[in-house]
Chain A
């Protein structure tokens, strides 16, 4: 380790102070908002029937927990979201590989993909329910539909962006198509794949909750819809907040994977 100059130490310290300031303000803001919400609710400034309140949300969650329903609903939504995420990401990437492999098929499929991409997937909801059936399968299908087209498009794009001279280099060394794919195309597209994971981890929640709004007997989306129908805003708010926490957790896991990946790449 090199000796640090005092100016550099100062610089590092300044940066650290700034970071601490930002994090404390972020947390502080959250606490203030929650406290304000609670206080306004307690003194009747806002109507808790419409706005609910932090304490009522906590109470609702603990009730869900004590009746043993909390993890059932969380689990249902989580499984749907993860299934949709994995199937769409892997399936879409595999389809993109096939389209890269065979240019004729790619050209045939191209207009279909463009049209499907611009179609709002929610419009397919009723058809999915009729075709796939009521239950988890149509929710996962909805999530897959939302992600798979964009996955195919962005991965195919990444594959096709690989420099032609690199392909030529491998060909000049007698590489076959499979070797070009595994030794060049896939590793080149890895950064795009990682950023795709980040996009999909957001989209899978959109798909899952949309699916649950359409057809479900369990899950956080179901609780939100059910709560709004019986005008139980405590339940709606509680489910929304649980959803927030879950989505954030899943996002951070993917962000962590990205960070590990970047760390490896910056060591180049």
Chain B
């Protein structure tokens, strides 16, 4: 079942300098449980696509179909963890439930369960500044998961971290996504990251961008993103994507 379908999505935005066509023709679909990455030259409107999927921006033309259930179908994870400094980790994680008036016993139990499962239980009453970058990002992920989204959008979610932390958090987040059986779309400029995490890579062209190619990645025999980064096949995928980008 397609959980998400983008059909001929086009976006033109206006400012005082004139009109800019950001997206020309974006068409792709995502199946339930799939991990899809979007790569493309910088400034091609990768993040814009995520904003359109969340509904923060309306496309000029084209259709977006999301089939999912839950209080908030789409969960969004940013480059910055955006944890609120005056709230404890637990209160940060409950923010979404608070905003959607869903702070029920059931949902709070679910938050506790997530906190325990992903090793943040001992830090639930701490403030964000007491946590390391990797833990903060994990807290940000759990904040998104608390709303039980069917579709998770990761917007350069690992780019703000230093390289070593980044590799760890990458494995960490990947495991959580797979354990919770989530569907995820990752926007990244890191080709290796895209290869190591995804089942499918959507390659975009320069602005006004359209889908250049949808590349299937079959590296399932390697269990972790870290191993996939290192494997021989990854180099071929890298070469292929690299050539498409330039």
The residues of A with any CB-CB pair to B shorter than 8 Å are: 163, 165-166, 168-175, 179, 183-184, 187, 190, 265, 267-268
In the complex, 27 of the A-B residue pairs with CB atoms within 8 angstroms, ordered by the A residue number, are A163-B82, A166-B82, A168-B56, A168-B76, A168-B78, A169-B78, A170-B99, A172-B54, A172-B76, A173-B76, A173-B95, A173-B96, A173-B99, A174-B72, A174-B99, A174-B100, A179-B99, A183-B84, A183-B95, A184-B84, A187-B84, A190-B86, A265-B86, A267-B127, A268-B85, A268-B129, A268-B130
Find A172's partner among B56, B79, B98, B128 (CB 8 Å cutoff).
B56
**A190, closest chain B residue (CB):** B86
Shortest beta-carbon distance from A41 to chain B in Å: 55
The residues of B with any CB-CB pair to A shorter than 8 Å are: 54, 56, 72, 74-76, 78-80, 82, 84-86, 95-96, 98-100, 127-130, 147
Residues on A with C-beta less than 8 A from B128 are: 268
Residues on B with C-beta less than 8 A from A179 are: 99
Q: Do B127 and A268 touch (CB < 8 A)?
A: yes
Residues on A with C-beta less than 8 A from B147 are: 173
Q: A172-B56, A173-B99, A183-B98 are in contact. Are A165 and B82 (CB under 8 A)?
A: yes
Find B84's partner among A166, A168, A174 (CB 8 Å cutoff).
A166
Give Cα distance in the complex from A267 to B80, angstroms: 23
**B88, closest chain A residue (CB):** A268
Q: Do A187 and B99 touch (CB < 8 A)?
A: no
Interface centre among A170, A173, A183, A265 (most CB of B within 10 A): A173
Q: Do B99 and A175 touch (CB < 8 A)?
A: yes
Q: Do B86 and A187 touch (CB < 8 A)?
A: yes
Give Cα distance in the complex from A168 to B100, angstroms: 15
Q: Do A171 and B82 touch (CB < 8 A)?
A: no
Shortest beta-carbon distance from B84 to chain A in Å: 7
Find A173's partner among B72, B79, B127, B130 (CB 8 Å cutoff).
B72
Give Cα distance in the complex from A267 to B88, angstroms: 11
Give Cα distance in the complex from A172 to B96, angstroms: 9
Shortest beta-carbon distance from B150 to chain A in Å: 15
Residues on B with C-beta less than 8 A from A166 are: 82, 84
In the complex, the 5 A-B pairs of residues with the closest C-beta atoms, listed nearest first: A268-B127, A172-B76, A173-B96, A175-B99, A169-B82
Residues on B with C-beta less than 8 A from A190 are: 86
Residues on A with C-beta less than 8 A from B84 are: 166, 183-184, 187
Residues on A with C-beta less than 8 A from B95 are: 170, 173, 183
**A264, closest chain B residue (CB):** B86
Residues on A with C-beta less than 8 A from B85 are: 268
Residues on B with C-beta less than 8 A from A165 are: 78-80, 82
Find B99's partner among A183, A267, A268 (CB 8 Å cutoff).
A183
**A175, closest chain B residue (CB):** B99
Residues on A with C-beta less than 8 A from B100 are: 173-174
Give Cα distance in the complex from A20 to B130, angstroms: 34
Give Cα distance in the complex from A174 to B97, angstroms: 10
Give Cα distance in the complex from A172 to B95, angstroms: 12
Shortest beta-carbon distance from B46 to chain A in Å: 15
Shortest beta-carbon distance from A129 to chain B in Å: 45
Q: Do B72 and A169 touch (CB < 8 A)?
A: no
Find B56's partner among A171, A265, A268 (CB 8 Å cutoff).
A171
**B55, closest chain A residue (CB):** A172
Interface centre among A190, A267, A268 (most CB of B within 10 A): A268
